[in-house]
Structures are given as C-alpha cells and as structure tokens.
C-alpha cells in the first residue's frame, strides 16, 4: 500500500522553506538587517558569536513592533509590508514574503525584544515558549538568534570555520552598508568591534555615497575607480545608473569587488554582468576582473523582485534597456581619456610610506564629468614638416583642426600630458606638465591610437568599400608558407575590406600591392604575416563581423611604433597631443596603462623634501 497523502505540519513547512532562505549564518544577518532597514532604522548593530552559529543579534532604532504583533512576526507568511497582489508590483521594502523570521524560528532559538515610541517599556517574546515578558530597551527592535541549525545537524555540517562564516556575515553587512550610506552600522565579533561605518554628516547624496564607499571598500578602491552617473548623459532614461567603476589597469584576478544593486537591493544579475563585461572589452589585461559598485534605479513596475526566495535575483521587464543603460554609462565613462580631466584633488594617502605606485595611482585618478569632456581643449598639432614620413599617421592633422608649430609650446600651455622632455631607453617618453612628470609607454600609447582610428574608419566604411587603401609605389614580395598562400587565396575579400591587396606571385611567394592608408608607414611584410596568421584562424565569411576588432588590434599592434625607435621631440609631442584626443587612450589594447604621472608633491615625498 502506498502511503496516503497528508498535509505537512506547519513547522516542517517552515523548516523546508528555511532550507532555501537560510543557507548559513550570513543569511540570518541579511534577513535581520533587511528587516531593520524596512523599519526605518538609522543605526544598526550586529553582534556575532562563533561565526554567527552561536549568536546573531541585530539591534536597531527603527519603529519597533507592537506588543500584540510580536508573536505574529514569527508566523509563516505574516508580513506588514504587502496586503494584496498589486502591492507586489511596486514593492519598495526589502522584505515582503513574510517568511524569514518564521524560517529562522524553525531552525534556531529566537528572542524578540521591541518597543514602539509610545510604549512605556519594551516587551520580550521568547520564541520557544511563546512567553511575553516586560523587557528593557529604547525605541526599536532587538532580535537574537541562537544555536542556528541545532535541529538540522545535516545543515550544520556544511558550515565552514567560524572565521569563514564571520567573513560571510561581514560581507553581507558590507552590501547593506554600501546601499545605505544614510544608516550607521557597527559589527561586533566575539565582543570586539569588527567594523563600523558611520553615516556621513553630509547632506549631499553623492558625497555621502562616496564617503561610504571609501569607508567600506577603502582608499585603494577610491583611487582606482571613477565616478559614474548616467543622469547627466541620459536624463530622460527610466533606468539610471550611478556608482563607481574600477579603472581597467587596476583590475584584479579575483572578482571580489563587484557590487550591483537594483533599487537598493544587492543582486547578482547576468544582464548587468554582461553589460559590464562588454563595457570593459579590450580594456582589460588578460583575464582580469574589473571592480564596480553600481546602483541601478528603475521604476519598481519594470522589475520583478519575487524571483528567488533570497531575492538575490531579479527579472527585468525589458532587459535590453538595462543592458543598454549600464553598458553605455560605463563604457562612456571609461573611454574618457583621464589626461583630459581636470587635475585630481585627492587627499594624500594617510597610510604607508611614499611609493611610486601610490603616487602614480593618486595622479591617475580624477572624477570625470560629462562636462569635462565637452570642454576638452582644442586639439593642436605640431607642424608636419620635418617629421619622418613613417610618423605621419600620428602627426597627421585631422580635417577642421588648427595646425600649430610645436615650438610655440610654452610651459604656460595647459597640456594635460605636458611637453616632451626626452626619450628613455627607446621605450618611454618623459614629459613635463603643470603638476610634474608624465611617463608614457610610447608603443602602448601609439597602439591604442592606431587601433581607435582603425575602428573609427572601419565603422564608417563597413558597409561600403572597407578601410581606405594605399597602393605601394614598389610592391613588396615575400616567401610564404603553404598556409599563408592558402589564407591569402581564401580571404581575398576580407583582406580587401581591411585595405590590403595581397596576391600570389609564385607558388611559394606573395606580393603586397596595397596596405591600409593608416598603416602605410609600417613594415608591410611583418604586418601581412601577422594578419594572415590571424585570419587563418577564422572562417572567411565571419571575419568582418565577429573578429573585426581582434584583427584591427593585430594590425594596430604591428603597425604601431616599436620600442627602441628614436623619436624627435616634435614626434613625441605629436604623440602626446594625439593621446589627449583619443578615447580610451589611457590603456593599450591589452589593458596595460599607457601613461603614469608623478606630481611635484609625489616627487617631493620621494625625496623627503620639506620634512
Ligand atoms: P517580511 O520582512 O518579508 O515581512 P519577516 O519574516 O522578515 O518578513 O518579518 C515579519 C514581520 O515582522 C515584518 O513584516 C515586520 O512587520 C516585522 N519585523 C521584523 N523585524 C522587524 C524589525 N526589526 N522592526 C520592526 N518590525 C519588524
Ligand atoms: Mg524580512
């Protein structure tokens, strides 16, 4: 006989639900802090014992719970936050499912103490006995959760060391703290203060947010990130994005500083992650992970938060609009050359001895505003006369741009990247700007400039003739491998669209008759060989769409000025001016930085001047 069907007892239902909502002590912390925030607390204290397994206590100064409601708070599907299905459409509180306290109550010992403003004293509810006794505390609520998972030992076995569980709890509070700079948080572990983030006295929301991000994520993150606020770019958009994004060259191998919030709720979201990955495309070195803290604001009707019991996932009604807003906002901000930004005004780092990297980092930051990019200085080019022919692609004046003699440059002129002084070992350009010294990796910088130009040209011409091509006065031939022969033959059309005319000369040699105008100064054979090697890996028909940027990057790399080339001062200045005018010129195509700066203050620090 199969067993008959019976309804499960209430407590078992809660224990089953608890399996989804409460994974570890950090989940209890998350739920209790969510509740405190929903109760409009401005001061929240979390106390932990044994990684939160022995105790998670959350104390808040919120509105409190009415004595008559105390026992209701522990019931399943009991909430004060929604009443009808329509309310779900526009829910603005962190909680609404009414199951967290019930779930926790079913797998731990819970005590609730609460007092409302009009009460003469607090009331304490013992969850286990249901007994209500007078308690003592000021207005607000204290919830104590002891011996988590004592009734579900299987769960308890999955827990890691106390230190690991404590770290997870702290991480959970960090997320809340980032989302709510208007609330003070204190975290105590084993009786010792572990972290404290005070609400900032500033009434300016942006300042408040920056202060909190600095408190929670540290100076390093501030120095290596830039502010983002899409309102200035697209004031009418329903989706607004603000926060800070990490500079590409500060990206790290671990994805441990990636915070996405949707309407104040920490989420993990594939759409947002993909938009960010695209925005950092060809700015990151290797498999580095960018850092970000992004707050996405979207009308509540356009996002469903009731997707997952822990609400860590959301579903956007129109994921394209969110993708677009994030991608556009982030890539716009990252593409602003920092050399075009006003000089940074950062308090010098309070810790550690002066170091080159500190100084360079400090100099590299700046808070770009869309305004700054509009008021960028007019581009001025040194005269082309006297420049070596093979440098012409850098010095070439663009249409409609004033041409100036480079020797009219004086130190009063506010060139962000300064005036070239010398070349160091054929690799670096040293320049002097108003703040101090600028060091430029000339190959990396030139590579980015050529790449951006190739991309811009390719965009313009994609549908039509392809990249502008220049016939060589004297065609160049070279001995080719069988693969090179075959690739040249099968990729005739893509090669033409990229501006090349390459043909078989004999059974074992190729002849180059034309190259892209932008690369006419490069070593044609070297360029062709690298390009053929690249093309050999792609199917001819998809080359132009899918791998266009990869191929342009190969061309830029082999077309850009190599190390160990002696440049004249005019050539160096031409490169600096070109960098100032090129998007994304702060990183080469592989995400390495193209320039660093040391201000006079940094240099003085290095030499202990004025101490
Ligand atoms: P939810 O947050 O989804 O409503 P919970 O189980 O987390 O469900 O909480 C149940 C109810 O208990 C809440 O709706 C709220 O009315 C009350 N409550 C819980 N924590 C607090 C708190 N810190 N301050 C005031 N009320 C609270
Ligand atoms: Mg809740």
Q: What is the pLDDT of residue 543?
A: 53
Q: What is the pLDDT of residue 64?
A: 97
Sequence-distant (6+) residues with CB within 8 A of 182 are 42, 199, 208
Provide, rounded to the nearest whole percent, the portion of the chain with pLDDT above 70.
85
Verify whether ligand 1 is closer than 6 Å to residue 101 (CB atom).
yes
221-259 tens-digit pLDDT:
998 999 999 887 888 889 999 999 999 888 888 888 999
Q: Is a pLDDT exceeding 70 seen at residue 56?
A: yes
Q: What is the pLDDT of residue 453?
A: 86
Q: What is the pLDDT of residue 263?
A: 95
Q: Is a pLDDT exceeding 60 seen at residue 400?
A: no
C-alpha 507 – ligand 2 centre gap (Å): 76
522 DSSP assignment: S
| Structure token digits, residue 86 | 């329509």
Q: What is the pLDDT of residue 352?
A: 30
For residues 605 and 34, give the distance between their C-alpha atoms in angstroms, rounded to a whole number.
46
Verify whether ligand 1 is closer than 6 Å to residue 57 (CB atom).
no
Q: What is the pLDDT of residue 485?
A: 93
Provide, rounded to the nearest whole percent, the portion of the chain with pLDDT above 90.
49
| Structure token digits, residue 227 | 């502010």
Verify whether ligand 1 is closer than 6 Å to residue 73 (CB atom).
yes
110-121 tens-digit pLDDT:
999 999 999 999
C-alpha 371 – ligand 1 centre gap (Å): 45
Q: What is the pLDDT of residue 577?
A: 92
Which atom of ligand 1 is the closest one to the Cα of 79? 14
Q: Which is more confident, 558 or 68?
A: 68
Which atom of ligand 1 is the closest one to the Cα of 62? 24
Q: Distances from the Cα of 598 to the Cαs of 356, 365, 438, in angstroms?
A: 8, 12, 6
Which of 18, 58, 101 should be mutated for ligand 1, with most atoms under 8 A from CB?
A: 101
Residue written as tokens 């080339």? 565
Verify whether ligand 1 is closer than 6 Å to residue 116 (CB atom).
no
Which atom of ligand 1 is the closest one to the Cα of 93? 2
Q: Is a pLDDT exceeding 90 seen at residue 493?
A: no
For residues 364 and 598, give the distance between their C-alpha atoms in angstroms, rounded to a whole number.
9
Q: What is the pLDDT of residue 1?
A: 82
Which atom of ligand 1 is the closest one to the Cα of 82? 4
Verify whether ligand 1 is closer than 6 Å to residue 39 (CB atom).
yes
272-315 tens-digit pLDDT:
999 998 899 888 877 788 999 999 999 999 999 988 888 899 99
Nearest to 484 by CA among 459, 511, 464, 458: 511
Angle CA 527–532–533, to nearest 5: 100
Q: Is a pLDDT exceeding 50 seen at residue 347?
A: no
Computed over every residue of the chain, the mean pLDDT equals: 83
Q: What is the pLDDT of residue 259?
A: 97
Q: What is the mean pLDDT of residues 130-148?
A: 96
C-alpha 261 – ligand 2 centre gap (Å): 18
pTM here is: 0.70
Q: What is the mean pLDDT of residues 571-587?
A: 89
C-alpha 29 – ligand 1 centre gap (Å): 13
Q: Which of the residue ranges 342-346, 381-385, 547-551 has the most confident prediction, judged by mean pLDDT?
A: 547-551
3-12 tens-digit pLDDT:
899 999 888 8
358-393 tens-digit pLDDT:
333 333 332 222 222 323 322 222 222 223 323 333
For residues 516 and 555, give the distance between their C-alpha atoms in angstroms, rounded to a whole number.
10
Sequence-distant (6+) residues with CB within 8 A of 443 are 427, 560, 561, 562, 563, 588
Which of 33, 66, 73 should be mutated for ligand 1, with most atoms under 8 A from CB?
A: 73
Which atom of ligand 1 is the closest one to the Cα of 60? 23
C-alpha 108 – ligand 2 centre gap (Å): 16
Q: What is the pLDDT of residue 369?
A: 25
Q: Is a pLDDT exceeding 70 seen at residue 339?
A: no
Residue closest by Cα to atom 20 of ligand 1 = 35
3-state secondary structure 67-99: HHHHHHHCCCCCCCCCCCHHHHHCCCCCCCCCC
Output helix, strand, coil percentages for the chain, rounded to the nearest 5.
Answer: 40, 20, 40
Q: Encode burial over 98-111: b for 16+ CB neighbours within 10 A, e otherwise.
A: bbbbbbbbbbbbbb
Q: What is the pLDDT of residue 48?
A: 98
Q: What is the pLDDT of residue 413?
A: 59
State the sign of the Cα–Cα–Cα–Cα dihedral 455, 460, 464, 466.
Answer: negative
Beta strands in 149-284 (DSSP E): 184-189, 192-197, 225-229, 240-246, 258-262, 265-267
Verify whether ligand 1 is closer than 6 Å to residue 61 (CB atom).
no
Strand (E) or helix (H) holding 141: strand 140-146
Q: What is the pLDDT of residue 44?
A: 98
C-alpha 34 – ligand 2 centre gap (Å): 6
Nearest to 598 by CA among 380, 367, 362: 362
Verify whether ligand 1 is closer than 6 Å to residue 59 (CB atom).
no
Verify whether ligand 1 is closer than 6 Å to residue 30 (CB atom).
no
Q: Are the C-beta atoms of 315 and 303 separated by less than 8 Å?
A: yes
Verify whether ligand 1 is closer than 6 Å to residue 141 (CB atom).
yes
């Amino acid at each position: 006989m199969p067993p008959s069907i019976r309804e499960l007892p209430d407590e078992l239902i809660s224990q089953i639900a608890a399996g989804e909502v409460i994974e570890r002590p950090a989940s209890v912390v998350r739920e209790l802090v969510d509740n405190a925030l929903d109760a409009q607390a401005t001061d929240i204290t979390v106390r932990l014992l044994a990684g939160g397994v022995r105790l998670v206590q959350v104390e808040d100064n919120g509105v409190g719970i009415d004595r008559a409601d105390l026992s209701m708070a522990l019931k399943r599907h009991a909430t004060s936050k929604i009443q009808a299905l329509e309310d779900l459409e526009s829910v603005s509180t962190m909680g609404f499912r009414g199951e967290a306290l019930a779930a926790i109550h079913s797998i731990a010992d819970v005590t609730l103490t609460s007092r409302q403003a009009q009460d003469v004293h607090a009331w304490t509810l013992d969850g286990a006995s249901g007994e209500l006794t007078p308690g003592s505390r000021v207005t607000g609520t204290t919830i104590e959760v002891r011996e988590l998972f004592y009734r579900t030992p299987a769960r308890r076995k999955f827990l890691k060391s106390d230190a690991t569980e404590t770290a997870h709890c702290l991480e959970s509070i960090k997320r809340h703290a980032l989302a709510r700079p208007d609330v003070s948080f204190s975290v105590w572990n084993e009786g010792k203060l572990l972290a404290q983030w005070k609400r900032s006295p500033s009434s300016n929301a942006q300042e408040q947010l920056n202060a909190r991000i600095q408190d929670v994520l540290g100076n390093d993150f501030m120095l290596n990130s830039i502010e983002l606020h899409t309102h200035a770019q697209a004031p009418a958009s329903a989706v607004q994005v603000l926060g800070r994004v990490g500079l590409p060259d500060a990206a790290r191998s671990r994805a441990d500083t990636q915070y996405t919030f949707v309407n104040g709720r920490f989420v993990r979201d594939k759409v947002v992650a993909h938009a960010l990955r695209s925005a950092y495309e060809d700015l990151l070195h290797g498999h580095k992970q960018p850092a970000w803290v992004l707050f996405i604001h979207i009308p509540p009707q356009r996002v469903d938060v009731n997707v997952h019991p822990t609400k860590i996932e959301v579903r956007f009604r129109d994921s394209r609009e969110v993708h677009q807003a994030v991608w556009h906002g982030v890539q716009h901000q990252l593409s602003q050359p920092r050399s075009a930004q006003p000089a940074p005004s950062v308090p010098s780092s309070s810790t550690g001895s002066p170091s080159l990297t500190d100084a360079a980092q400090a100099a590299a930051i700046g808070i770009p505003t869309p305004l700054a990019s509009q008021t960028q200085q007019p581009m001025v080019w040194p005269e082309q006369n006297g420049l070596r022919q093979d440098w012409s692609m850098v010095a070439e004046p663009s249409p409609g741009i004033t041409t100036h003699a480079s020797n009219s440059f004086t130190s009063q002129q506010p060139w962000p990247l300064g005036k070239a002084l010398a070349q160091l070992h054929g690799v670096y350009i040293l320049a002097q700007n108003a703040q101090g010294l600028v060091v430029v990796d000339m190959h990396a910088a030139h590579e980015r400039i050529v790449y951006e130009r190739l991309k811009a040209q390719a965009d313009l011409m994609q549908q039509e003739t392809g990249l502008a091509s220049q016939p060589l006065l004297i065609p160049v031939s070279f001995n080719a491998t069988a693969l090179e022969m075959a690739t040249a033959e099968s990729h005739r059309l893509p090669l033409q669209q990229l501006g090349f005319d390459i043909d078989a000369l004999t059974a074992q040699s190729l002849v180059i008759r034309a190259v892209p105008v932008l690369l006419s100064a490069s070593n044609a054979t070297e360029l062709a060989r690298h390009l053929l090697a690249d093309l050999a890996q792609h199917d001819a028909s998809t080359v132009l769409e899918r791998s266009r940027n990869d191929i342009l990057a190969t061309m830029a790399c082999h077309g850009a000025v190599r190390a160990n080339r002696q440049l004249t001062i005019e050539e160096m200045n031409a490169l600096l001016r070109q960098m100032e005018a090129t998007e994304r010129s702060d990183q080469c195509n592989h995400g390495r930085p193209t320039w660093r700066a040391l201000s006079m203050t940094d240099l003085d620090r290095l030499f202990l001047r004025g101490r």
